[in-house]
Amino acid sequence: MKPVKIGLLGMGTVGGGTVTVLTRNNNEITRRAGRGILVAHAAVRDINRARPDSATDVILTTDPFEVVNNPELDIIVELIGGYDLARELVLKAIENGKHVVTANKALIAVHGNEIFAAAQKRGVTVAFEAAVAGGIPIIKAVREGLAGNSIEWMAGIINGTGNFILTEMRDKGSDFSDVLAEAQRLGYAEADPEFDVEGIDAAHKLTILASIAFGVPLQFDKAYTEGISKITGDDVNYAEELGYRIKHLGVTRRTEEGIELRVHPTLIPERRLIANVDGVMNAVLVQGDAVGPTLHYGAGAGAEATASAVVADLVDIVRALTTDPENRVPHLAFQPDALSDLPILPMESIETAYYLRMQATDQPGVLADITRILGDLEISIEAILQKESANNALHVPIILLTHRVREKQMNDALKQIEALASIRGNVTRIRLEQLS
């Protein structure tokens, strides 16, 4: 049987890794897919750039539309990233009756509803395992392996850059800015690190996971996003002292009122496995009603780790090339006409516990004022840590852990606490999840 011909849009880190994996593991992949998979055509920025030996037979072009319009290609692999051009190319490929594999989480999170509708109408597949958590097969695990479960919640470390920074802050006692510079030097962070450190990248991925877990349309614009740039070394140390670790966590949970969809720094008990995921590694904790908790761990980025997911999608599509389009695995796990209209909850409606750090005047009665405000708003305290005055300073740090409460109540409490004459500056708030 003739090999399936594919076209690559982009042959950078992941594209090059995809060609390498397909070539090196050609025999094994052919045995699994039932047919060979051949990279025949690729769009690149610079045709003259040095390529691996495995790419010498690939036809190169600087025009990506030449690839998506090539009638000899069966599958298009989109690896250029971004929103607009990628959307245009993917929709054109679908219009031409080609299946699509993409590693572009931003594209799926923002334009996925439109893309999947077009693919459904044309009878082709859009596969996107590589868009979330790199080489971890989390999409397949939730969409297929856990299909017998009602998913209750998911929590994930799904951005390696942020996890590297928080790990280094804890292990080396360094400040955020110093560790960010180190991450940029090592190539873990971009020159403009906003997408990583402010949680946008993680929110793209979490949006996709929530849709697959709960059968709701993709709604990236409703995701709450908060970064790690305001986390200090003191916060990391105080969390450790209280038995917690700070992770930049994506959390999505089904409640009676709707779906939680949020990315923010989070205190996690240090005994949890996910609290011990360090460096650039990713992990996703999934709670199903039948299976209970499952932890999915691995490399969230990198040439061959991400290529592993791209090639797995290619194998799935090749296996299903002769399948009736109506009987393929649905893009968002649930049949398109069976998606739920459960709302995404606003952050003020979310219920969680909190870590609070404030600078307070070192005098009697201050703690009583703070606890009175919390008590009036029915916020109960789990633990208090008050540090000694250093060098006779006028202000001392006070750290509180609270029990679970709605975010709106905490917002009201913080306004009142910050208005006290005895409190200097803003109160640092970090949400806390037991994940039990």
381 close to 432: Cβ distance less than 8 angstroms: no
Q: Which residue in 154, 298, 278, 175 sits closest to 229, CA to CA?
A: 175
Q: In the 3-class helix/strand/coil scheme, how is the chain assigned residue by residue?
A: CCCEEEEEECCCHHHHHHHHHHHHCHHHHHHHHCCCEEEEEEECCCCCCCCCHHHCCCEEECCHHHHHCCCCCCEEEECCCCCHHHHHHHHHHHHCCCEEEECCHHHHHHHHHHHHHHHHHHCCCEECHHHCCCCCCHHHHHHHHCCCCCEEEEEEECCHHHHHHHHHHHHHCCCHHHHHHHHHHHCCCCCCCHHHHCCHHHHHHHHHHHHHHHCCCCCHHHCEECCCCCCCHHHHHHHHHCCEEEEEEEEEEECCCCEEEEEEEEEEECCCHHHHCCCCEEEEEEEECCCEEEEEEEECCCHHHHHHHHHHHHHHHHHCCCCCHHHCCCCCCCCHHHCCCCCECCHHHCEEEEEEEEEEECCCCHHHHHHHHHHHCCCCEEEEEECCCCCCCCEEEEEEEECCEEHHHHHHHHHHHHCCCCEEEEEEEEEECCCC
43 close to 63: Cβ distance less than 8 angstroms: yes
| Annotation says 205 is catalytic | yes
Q: Which of 98, 105, 205, 247 is catalytic?
A: 205
Q: Which residues are catalytic?
A: 205
